[in-house]
Homo-oligomer: A and B are copies of this chain.
Amino acid sequence: ALPSSPGTASALRSSPSPRTSFPSLASLCFFSAGIEFRFREVPVGGAALDSTGVPLPDETLAAAKESDAVLLGAIGGYKWDANEKHLKPETGLLQLRAGLGVFANLRPATVLPQLVDSSTLKKEVAEGVDIMVVRELTGGIYFGKPRGFGSNDRGEDIGFNTEVYSASEIDRIARVAFEVARKRHGKLCSVDKANVLEASMLWRKRVNGLASEFPDVELSHMYVDNAAMQLIRNPKQFDTIVTNNIFGDILSDEASMLTGSIGMLPSASIGDLGPGLFEPIHGSAPDIAGQDKANPLATVLSAAMLLRYGLGEEEAAKRIEAAVINTLNRGFRTGDIFSGGTTLVGCKQMGEEVLRSV
């Protein structure tokens, strides 16, 4: 792989078929910023299970590591739902995150003025919401050991997992979150369950320990149950949220649904070294696969995050984001964000309208 620009975006093919057509994405970048891309498409998840029998083939991980950035389609589908753990599409995604060391997952939940009516929240509660959830992505209960099945002292079946964090794992994600908050509105809320869990007590202690390095950031703490409530009661109180892997999984999905347009939301996962991983936060929506109904904008916006955080091409990122806004302003909507007075389009046409809006 060539270093940095001209970038090599390794496009991982997952299941069902990707929501964005990569050639159009390529032309988009080409026209908007004069950057040249080399794409490599490799399978992961269901596609990899079908073609190779494992959810993350060695070749796929190697190709991802050699690239300058990785764009990922959504993972999972009915076909593999009953698979054993090591043969689940999700396992491939977790292995990829771990393999790339992308410990910091940035998940914006922003209510766009054009889409405020798609939210199930009252307009005055939803408008202006602009939250960034910084989720720890390669530790905690997702990866902790021991884990598995066994039996207890009464001979009964048990299933178990370990929630574990080390000081350095907490420090590195907290630093990313402080930096992100500093570039946003300077407010960081760390979410834990420190009134019950030792892993959370250490989390809170380490986050507090870093606060003095970021005197310009206002740090607060909140229990996860309260955070789940406050996101609904008054989401505008939040700027940047930092939390562990499992709480981040739950809260970032909750936050994204506040916007009413989960089909719009991208994410970036970054590590200390190596390529970042960029993916829509939505799932693979197997119920509408192949029907040309899916909203491609989360993937398009993930490509923008890829340009910004993965390749340092801020200008190109901004042009893609502006093209998306422009497309919405021109009234185009897929079914998930459709409302009266706008124009309903399919996945393909939405992609074309974005290209036309550049």
Interface of A toward B, CB cutoff 8 Å: 76, 85, 88, 90, 94, 120-122, 125, 141-142, 144, 147-149, 152, 154, 156-168, 193, 195-203, 224-226, 228-234, 246-247, 249-254, 256-258, 262, 283
Contact = CB atoms under 8 A, between A and B. Distances in A.
30 contacts: A85-B198, A85-B201, A94-B196, A120-B122, A120-B125, A121-B121, A121-B122, A122-B122, A142-B196, A149-B198, A154-B166, A158-B164, A158-B167, A159-B164, A159-B165, A159-B202, A159-B203, A160-B162, A160-B164, A161-B162, A193-B246, A225-B249, A228-B250, A228-B253, A228-B254, A229-B257, A232-B254, A232-B258, A247-B250, A250-B250
Nearest to A152: B166
A281 to B, nearest CB: 10
Nearest to A88: B195
Nearest to A234: B120
A166 B156 contact: yes
Contact of A160 (B154, B195, B199): B199
Contact of A199 (B154, B161, B195, B250): B161
Nearest to A126: B120
A99 B76 CA distance: 42
Nearest to A221: B81
A193 to B, nearest CB: 7
B203 A228 contact: no
Contact of A163 (B161, B198, B258): B161
A76 to B, nearest CB: 7
A161 B238 CA distance: 28
Contacts of A251: 228
Nearest to A281: B225
Contacts of A257: 228-230, 232-233
A232 B144 CA distance: 30
A81 B203 CA distance: 15
Contacts of A94: 196
A163 B65 CA distance: 33
Given A159-B164, A159-B198, A230-B257, 14 more contacts: A76-B195, A94-B196, A120-B232, A120-B233, A147-B198, A157-B167, A162-B162, A162-B163, A224-B249, A228-B253, A229-B253, A231-B254, A232-B232, A247-B250
Contact of A141 (B85, B148, B163): B163
Contacts of A195: 76, 88, 90
B122 A197 contact: no
Contacts of A232: 120-121, 232, 254, 257-258
A163 B160 contact: yes
Nearest to A142: B196
A227 to B, nearest CB: 8
A231 B250 CA distance: 12
A163 B163 contact: yes
A121 B247 CA distance: 23
Contacts of A157: 166-167, 202
